[in-house]
Amino acid sequence: MCGIAGIVALEDISARLVQSIRNLEYRGYDSCGIAMLNGSGKIKISKNIGSVEEVCEKENFGRLKGSVGIAHTRWATHGGVTKSNAHPHMSCDNGFSIAHNGIISNHEKLRTRLKNAGHRFRSTTDTEVIVHLVEDWHRKVKSVEKAFVAAMRELDGTYAVILVTGHEPDRIYCARNESPLLIGLGDYVNYIGSDLNAFIDHTKNAVFMEDKEYAIVTHDSCILKRISDGETMSRQVQELMWDSEMAQKGGFPHYMLKEIYEQPQVVHNALDIDPELVEGFARMALEKKTLHITGVGTTFYVSQIGQYYFSRYAGVTPMVISSDEFRFLAQVDKDTAIIAVSQSGETYDTLNALRYGKSHHATTGAIVNVMGSSMARMVDQMILQGSGPEICVISTKAALSQMIILARIAMAAGVMNGRITAKQARGYEAQLRELPAAIENVLNEKSGFIHTIAQQQSHIKHWLFLGRGRYYPVARESALKMKEVSYVHAEGMPSGFLKHGTIALIDENLNSVVFAPPEEEKELYKLTLSSAEEIRARDGYVLGLTFKQKKKEKLPFTEQIVLPKTPPFTAPFLQMVVAQLLSYFTATTLKRNIDRPRSLAKSVTVA
Ligand code: AGP
């Protein structure tokens, strides 16, 4: 949600600190700010509403010089988007400053108590109570560490908190509970960040904090302790696999386009994941009586496609529940396996589903993109998808990679339980190996045409995305893409569902996209085309996503994007790339904020 960064060094860090929140901006981007300790131990704050670029210019961040500082980029939860609600927040005596990610659920009670004790509040955020609480405790216990810990013990809810204080100007205090926080270790300089993008430009060595821990970080030390009893914790330093170049736009106008174009490589990476890891997941899936696959938003649709692949190629139909609903629907016990899917590995709802599963003794696995993320560390088995940093708030390459990995797990399970032969599995794998070239071909050959269609249809305010079987989750995912990047209303549904009500909407104001399978999927093909015919019979516009046919036949589409002949196993994945481009070009035509659409955040770490 929000991005947090901190640096403790011996020399001026102002430029580096601004860069840190620039790199974290995809986590939240309604306002941002910096608190810097200057040489005399005074804290200077600068903050405002707007993107890092805008605020940096408005406030001239560069004038805040210092060697210890914290910074924050916000995605508002409590309190509107205003300058006073932007982080960092200051204590009454200006001796402490704090930035926070998460939600403090008992903030109202604490605020009333602190107000009664004479504290003056300047914002309407839940965060501000934390800084007054530390100040309040400090008056009583006269030790920053004791005050910080006492304050953390009083907080209910989720937090990654970072604090600087004039009382101890050579260090940063930080703590986490259910919101990510990690520490980057440099040479006489240490970094704190809500994810590795905060400091990946400077160091690849990191220590991951666990829930209910705090840390005291100076330029050459980092001490981790447990909040409950102050016990010192030892933790291994991990080497991060990404580098800063991977998180640059590399000549593309937007990260979204760059990430769409990275998909051929991302598919290769997904196929190169150690087969033993894949088989481990397949075994887990088959050994237990019930298998759940869960995710939310895009990863819910990814889970759904996994469900279809499992059903078709492993003869097992897993339960797929959106992770925000998991606790209210799932039946979980020790005979249950849960596979969670998440790009960030930090999404609150999916983490919560895993926690629920673990508390009911389920065996858990996660497919995640971010190394060292909370999910990666809490599950029994983990697959790191290796898609590289996904900076655009809209998920594209990570989703495709997750689909491929789930298809691989389904195939491995199919071989294990005899649903398919090893030879057949090798055949499907070979088809997957051809997918990168097919995607490249679509990107090179079809982009122009897709762009033209997007421009011509950009006046349309409502879209239906329709598919059957494995094409149905892809249709839903494609509708989500259209909504989130172009702000155009879109619904994805099974094409067979159309005639049960939604068909009443068909008129000149609503466009449909039909995901037609290759013709060898005979039944699916016929049924999907009949839905397109139903729409055409009502004069509706239908864009068909089709594959080259053996013999030319007249298809019931207004327009069509014809893809090269593709095996059914990989066909839905190729169509998804087309739909990503359609959303992207619609959004660029409508001049949307592509990489940071309004109201969204890359990783949603609150309930
Ligand atoms: C995707 O484009 C989204 N903005 C969103 O639905 C996302 O997929 C969802 O929040 C889950 O995130 P995760 O993969 O990081 O868990």
65: domain CATH number is: 3.60.20.10
**Over 80: is that where the pLDDT of 455 sits?**
yes
Which atom, in ligand 1's list, is nearest to the CA of 603? 15
* Helix runs in 457-561, H state only: 471-486, 522-536
Mean pLDDT of the chain: 95
**Over 80: is that where the pLDDT of 302 sits?**
yes
* 228 and 93 assigned to the same domain: yes
Which residue of 1, 294, 296 sits with most ligand 1 atoms within 8 Å of its CB, as the best mutation to test the pocket?
296
What six digits make up the tokens of 534?
């139903």
CB proximity list for 92: less than 8 A, separation 6 or greater: 118, 119, 120, 132, 135
Q: Which of 225, 246, 267 is the last residue of a domain?
A: 246
- What is the C-alpha separation between 450 and 46, in angstroms, rounded? 44
- What is the C-alpha separation between 515 and 560, in angstroms, rounded? 10
- What is the C-alpha separation between 331 and 348, in angstroms, rounded? 20
Query: For position 193, what pLDDT does the model report?
Result: 96
Question: Active site residue: 2, 32, 56, 222, which one?
Answer: 2
**Over 80: is that where the pLDDT of 243 sits?**
no
* 376 and 365 assigned to the same domain: yes
- What is the C-alpha separation between 498 and 542, in angstroms, rounded? 13
- What is the C-alpha separation between 306 and 330, in angstroms, rounded? 18
- Residues 528-539, mean pLDDT to the nearest whole number: 95
Active site residue 92: no
- Return the residue whose CA atom lies nearest to atom 9 of ligand 1: 297
Ligand 1 contact via 298 beta carbon (within 6 Å): yes
Run of H or E residues at 31 = strand 31-37
Residue 401 DSSP one-character state:
H
**Over 80: is that where the pLDDT of 390 sits?**
yes
Tell me, in angstroms, the distance from the centre of ligand 1 to residue 459's CA. 27
Ligand 1 contact via 474 beta carbon (within 6 Å): no
* 165 and 93 assigned to the same domain: yes
- Residues 480-505, mean pLDDT to the nearest whole number: 96
Query: For position 348, what pLDDT does the model report?
Result: 92
**Over 90: is that where the pLDDT of 25 sits?**
no
**Over 90: is that where the pLDDT of 178 sits?**
no
- Residues 88-93, mean pLDDT to the nearest whole number: 97
Q: Which of 246, 264, 299 is the last residue of a domain?
A: 246
Judged by average pLDDT, the poorest of 6-10, 74-78, 164-168 is 74-78
**Over 80: is that where the pLDDT of 607 sits?**
no
- Return the residue whose CA atom lies nearest to atom 6 of ligand 1: 297
Which atom, in ligand 1's list, is nearest to the CA of 398? 14
- Return the residue whose CA atom lies nearest to atom 16 of ligand 1: 342
Judged by average pLDDT, the poorest of 5-19, 64-78, 153-167, 309-323 is 64-78
Judged by average pLDDT, the poorest of 71-80, 175-184, 453-462 is 71-80
Query: For position 553, what pLDDT does the model report?
Result: 83
Give Cα 125 distance to the centre of its chain: 24
Q: Residue 88 belongs to what domain range? A: 3-246
- What is the C-alpha separation between 600 and 607, in angstroms, rounded? 14
Query: For position 130, what pLDDT does the model report?
Result: 98
- The 10 Å Cβ neighbour count of residue 523 is 10
* 28 and 100 assigned to the same domain: yes
Which atom, in ligand 1's list, is nearest to the CA of 396? 2
Given CA atoms 110, 111, 112, 116 in this order, what sign does their dihedral have?
positive
Judged by average pLDDT, the poorest of 20-24, 182-186, 433-437, 460-464 is 20-24
**Over 90: is that where the pLDDT of 265 sits?**
yes
What six digits make up the tokens of 458?
């950009």
The vertex-21 CA angle with 101 and 223, nearest 5°, equals: 60
Which residue of 293, 294, 299 sits with most ligand 1 atoms within 8 Å of its CB, as the best mutation to test the pocket?
299
- Return the residue whose CA atom lies nearest to atom 5 of ligand 1: 297
**Nearest by Cα to 369 from 348, 390, 353, 400:** 390
Give residue 222's pLDDT band: very low, low, confident or very high (50, 70, 90).
Answer: very high
pLDDT: is 554 or 139 the higher one? 139
Tell me, in angstroms, the distance from the centre of ligand 1 to residue 395's CA. 6
* 73 and 16 assigned to the same domain: yes
Active site residue 289: no
Q: Which residue has the tokens 């821990």?
A: 213
The total of structural domains in the chain comes to: 3
Provide the percentage of residues in the chain whose pLDDT is more than 90.
87
Give residue 38's pLDDT band: very low, low, confident or very high (50, 70, 90).
Answer: confident
> 3-class SS at 368?
strand
Ligand 1 contact via 299 beta carbon (within 6 Å): yes
* 522 and 399 assigned to the same domain: no
- Return the residue whose CA atom lies nearest to atom 4 of ligand 1: 394
* 217 and 69 assigned to the same domain: yes
Query: For position 272, what pLDDT does the model report?
Result: 96
Tell me, in angstroms, the distance from the centre of ligand 1 to residue 298's CA. 5
- What is the C-alpha separation between 77 and 497, in angstroms, rounded? 36
* 235 and 255 assigned to the same domain: no
Give residue 250's pLDDT band: very low, low, confident or very high (50, 70, 90).
Answer: confident
Which atom, in ligand 1's list, is nearest to the CA of 393? 4
* 374 and 493 assigned to the same domain: no
Tell me, in angstroms, the distance from the centre of ligand 1 to residue 346's CA. 10
Query: For position 176, what pLDDT does the model report?
Result: 96
- Residues 190-203, mean pLDDT to the nearest whole number: 93
Question: Residue 595 is part of a domain; what is its CATH number?
Answer: 3.40.50.10490
- The 10 Å Cβ neighbour count of residue 365 is 24
* 419 and 465 assigned to the same domain: no
**Over 90: is that where the pLDDT of 545 sits?**
yes
* 178 and 301 assigned to the same domain: no
Query: For position 11, what pLDDT does the model report?
Result: 94
Ligand 1 contact via 395 beta carbon (within 6 Å): yes
**Over 90: is that where the pLDDT of 121 sits?**
yes
- What is the C-alpha separation between 516 and 98, in angstroms, rounded? 53
- What is the C-alpha separation between 576 and 520, in angstroms, rounded? 19
Query: For position 61, what pLDDT does the model report?
Result: 87
Residue 314 DSSP one-character state:
H
Q: Which phi and psi angles does 537 have, rounded to 5°?
A: -60, -20
Query: For position 251, what pLDDT does the model report?
Result: 80
Q: Which of 392, 418, 439 is the last residue of a domain?
A: 439
Tell me, in angstroms, the distance from the centre of ligand 1 to residue 399's CA. 9
Give residue 202's pLDDT band: very low, low, confident or very high (50, 70, 90).
Answer: very high
Strand partners, 295: 322
Tell me, in angstroms, the distance from the centre of ligand 1 to residue 522's CA. 34
> 3-class SS at 498?
helix
- What is the C-alpha separation between 257 and 273, in angstroms, rounded? 25
Query: For position 182, what pLDDT does the model report?
Result: 94
* 419 and 456 assigned to the same domain: no
- Residues 581-597, mean pLDDT to the nearest whole number: 96
What six digits make up the tokens of 480?
């989500």
Residue 550 DSSP one-character state:
S
Tell me, in angstroms, the distance from the centre of ligand 1 to residue 540's CA. 31
For residue range 330-372, list pLDDT tens digits in order: 999 999 999 999 999 999 999 999 999 999 999 999 999 998 8
